[in-house]
Structure 1
């Protein structure tokens, strides 16, 4: 049976919605990977800061020149600043992931709606076809009955 034009249009819309959903999935996956990379960098910075503090803590009994201490504190301040910047980057990526999840949800809802509408229209077409066939069967039966009555 040929696909009616109304149903054909819906099928095109479903295919477009599927492509949009697939693209939204790819964007979400990309956003998650970027977030994981940013989080990994943050963890590296934290581990390095902890390791550096640990090394300086072991030298507590050793006398240090004020210049060395000044450079250490300056370095730790810069490292703290870098961690603060990376925290902002991680939060930004978390927002991007949330937005990508929302976009995917919207495309999935649209696709589901279009699929349900397509199914409903398909059922309506099948019911109309069944009614037409039943009507034809009834008309043939009525004609046969009339022909049999005339023949008697």
Structure 2
């Protein structure tokens, strides 16, 4: 039974690791979604700004205003590019967290399978012992009954 108890402890530890891996994955997914939402905001803002600028294309613009607009759009594009990198980093973290969760689930499943097999083997051994004892008792009773019947004759 000691072997079974140590397996039960290993299963419990493995369950905790699996739960922790699941929590890490959920956190990574939430961070990725937040980074993606921020990128979407930047891209939407860039489109809106370009749309507003396009409406004013008919009017005469000072060269300084045009320069500042292009400079602002370049900075906005740079920020969106950096945020794209952040989203990619988060995607890598999500992939790593998914692999870790899968590994933890596979380990837990294999430990449970080993534990079930050991439990089955123990139950089978106990059933064999019980059967052997039953057979021995039956043989003793038969032997005693045979001696008694021989002694009565």
1:22-60 CA-partner distances (Å, limit 9, x unpaired): 000000000000000000000000000000000000001
How far apart are the structure 2 equivalents of 1:17 and 1:74? 54
Question: 3-state DSSP class of the match of 1:74?
Answer: helix
Aligned to 1:151: 148
TM-score (norm 1): 0.98
Matched, 1:70 2:71: no
1:63-90 CA-partner distances (Å, limit 9, x unpaired): 0000000000000000000001000000
Cα RMSD after superposing both structures: 0.3
Query: Of residues 8, 23, 26 in structure 2, which corresponds to 1:26?
Result: 23
For residues 100-111 of structure 1, what are the structure 2 equivalents within 5 Å?
100-111=97-108
The structure number with the bigger radius of gyration is 2
Which ranges of structure 2 fall in alignment gaps of 5 or more residues?
none
Aligned to 1:140: 137
Query: Of residues 8, 20, 26 in structure 1, which corresponds to 2:5?
Result: 8
Which ranges of structure 1 fall in alignment gaps of 5 or more residues?
none
How far apart are the structure 2 equivalents of 1:52 and 1:59? 11
Which aligned runs of 4 or more in structure 1 are off by greater than 3 angstroms? none
Aligned residue pair count? 149
For residues 28-67 of structure 1, what are the structure 2 equivalents within 5 Å?
28-67=25-64
